[in-house]
A and B are shown apart, each in its own frame.
Chain A
Amino acid sequence: MMMRGLWKLTWIEIKVFLREPMGAFGTIVFPVLIFLVVGRMVGRRMAPASLATSSFIHVGLPVIAAVLILVSAVLSLVTIISIYREGGILKRLRATPLRPQTILTAHVIVKLLLTAATLALMVLAGKRYYPVGVHIPLFSFTIALLIATLSILSIGFLIASIVPTARFAQPIGAAIFYPLLGISGLFFPVASLPPALQVVARALPTTYAVSLLEGIWKGDPWSAHLGDVAALTVAFLLCIALSTKVFRWE
């Protein structure tokens, strides 16, 4: 019964999202286009690639793309939840036998599906930039991405629980996430940061998410990243526990 409600709600949320003027284009088409354009530019200019650029194209770019898409999905979740709260939609749904967890789960599933669709398209589109025969551990990477996504989504939930109004949801979310990404090792190694920032970086789940994604993409075994998985799990549990305490339905 509740599964029927969950499925219906998820399906309707997908449809409603795609009807938004920027919905499908902004989340799926646009990132893939950017990826293609950047891939072309980088690929052409640096054709006789040095080791560094080649490593950037082969490891850096895909992980950067994945993380940025993931974070934009989380930001959109934060915004949607605060809009739904402000408009009384969450409250109206809560006045039905639908469990609160079900309502929130539906939104998480929508974001996961849309992120997955975008990334799948990107993988297809990006295929041509990768020499045939380069092995990419797609399955492991998908799992790593799922773990990273759930952990970062939980931070998003925590933010969504406390932002005062829908108008501030997106800017506050961005103001929190982009600095987190800046020192996460996504763009330059954590070791190159000033020591104080390194300490901060090591306390943040995004750093472990990036380390996990890059490692698995490069072909590291899971055993080399158990610490990352543990850190992400702890962050997830912590954020969910805090969210359930401070989440406001109206």
Chain B
Amino acid sequence: MPPVIQVSGIRKTYGSTVAVDEVSFEVNEGEIFGLIGPNGAGKTTTMECIEGLRTPDRGTIAVLGLDPFRQVYKLQDRIGVQLQQAQLQKRIKVWEAVNLWASLYQRQAADGERLLEQLGLADKRDAWFMNLSGGQKQRLFIALALINDPEVVFLDELTTGLDPQSRRAIWDLVRGIHDRGKTVFLTTHLMEEAERLCDRVAIIERGRIVDMDTPERLVARHCPERTVILTTDDPAAEAHFRAILQVQSVTCADQRFTIQGTGDDLVTEVIHCLSENHIRVADFRTILPNLEDVFLKITGHSIRD
């Protein structure tokens, strides 16, 4: 099966600013693919080139076998799009928007009323757009992105500006879209969002993709460090910990030990050591690196900078 999205060597400049340079990747059918990076890294530009809203200066793109530039209307009929910071007419009612969008597509539209119900907007169907909360607006945009029962769904910074509760609710919705067999392409600068949702991610920095893989493999590749934090009053413990092969450093503050090392085996070895030496612990936890750490490692700065 050919990839749903194929991007190869695209470049886009605005004046003298290079927004996207030599970006290539593929998205397979049925996966959630995330383009992650800080604001201004080129995520939205890349996504809008794929959606046919912008034309790259160089490179080729194929989505569902279509050219987003020459066959834009054919393509837009088969994809669903949620744009960053979009608005609707202030005084359009929720059901009017859904109804209007349903009429714009050649494809058999999805059941608008059911969509509103699934997205928790059924009791808001007569409300004006301007009177919706941020989370409700975002859910309406998801409804509009799904109204044509699309094969690929594009979500640009879906949860930016939402409170944690709405964010979680929307993550569940995206998983729901994925479970219905849709391919999802999303951008985010929230590493937690990428980690929880994406099957694969590409990290983009200053217009270039710096690495691409599943979140787990990215972490394993770039951040093999493991940390175990435990509390014990056993005076001999520190010497035992230092004897473990994978351990690189042990620090102790007030009976609380921080054991750092590399490799998946570190945690197992520490547990072994505890049980072999009959060390009693009052507390035990591990810290695993995440995508945030990967980003810091690769780019040398935090994604929030």
* A residues apposed to B, CB below 8 Å: 1, 4-5, 8-9, 12-13, 15-16, 19-20, 84, 87-89, 91-92, 94-99
Q: How far is the CA of A227 from the CA of B100 in the complex (A)?
A: 42
Interface set, chain B 100-155, CB cutoff 8 A to A: 100-101, 103-106, 128, 144
**A95, B106: Cβ atoms under 8 Å?**
no
A97 neighbours in B (Cβ, 8 Å): 73, 76-77, 104-106
B interface size (C-beta, 8 A): 25
Task: Give Cα A98 to B92, complex, Å.
Answer: 18
Contacts of A87 in B (CB 8 A): 86-88
Main secondary structure of the interface of B (DSSP, over half): loop
> Cβ of B81 < 8 Å from any Cβ of A?
yes
Q: What's the nearest-Cβ distance from chain A to residue B53, in Å?
A: 6
B76 touches A92 (CB 8 A): no
**Across the interface, do B106 and A88 meet the contact criterion of CB distance under 8 Å?**
no
B45 to A: closest C-beta gap in Å: 12
User: Hey, which chain B residues are within 8 Å of A88, CB to CB?
Assistant: 83, 85-87
Q: Given B87, B88, B92, B101, which contacts A96 in the complex, CB threshold below 8 Å?
A: B101
B51 contacts the other chain (CB 8 A): yes
Is there an interface contact between B81 and A95, defined as CB atoms closer than 8 Å?
Answer: yes
Given contacts A20-B91, A95-B83, contact A15 B106 (CB under 8 A): no
Query: How far, in Å, is B86 (CB) from chain A's closest CB?
Result: 4
Residues of B within 8 A of A92 (CB): 83, 86-88, 144
Chain A residues near B81: list those with CB within 8 A. 95-96
Complex: chain B residue closest to A92, CB-CB = B86
In the complex, besides A19-B128, A96-B101, 6 extra interface pairs with C-beta distance below 8 angstroms are A19-B91, A88-B83, A89-B86, A89-B88, A91-B83, A96-B105
Among A5, A20, A95, contact of B103 (Cβ-Cβ < 8 Å): A5
Residues of chain B lying within 8 A (CB to CB) of residue A89: 86-89
Task: Say yes or no: is B57 at the interface (Cβ < 8 Å to chain A).
Answer: no
The residue on B at minimum CB distance from A23 is B91
Closest to B75 in A: A97
Q: Across the interface, which residues of A come within 8 angstroms of B86, CB to CB?
A: 87-89, 91-92
User: B92 contacts which chain A residues (CB < 8 A)?
Assistant: 12, 16
Contacts of B91 in A (CB 8 A): 16, 19-20
Contact (A95, B100) CB under 8 Å given A87-B87, A88-B87, A89-B86: no
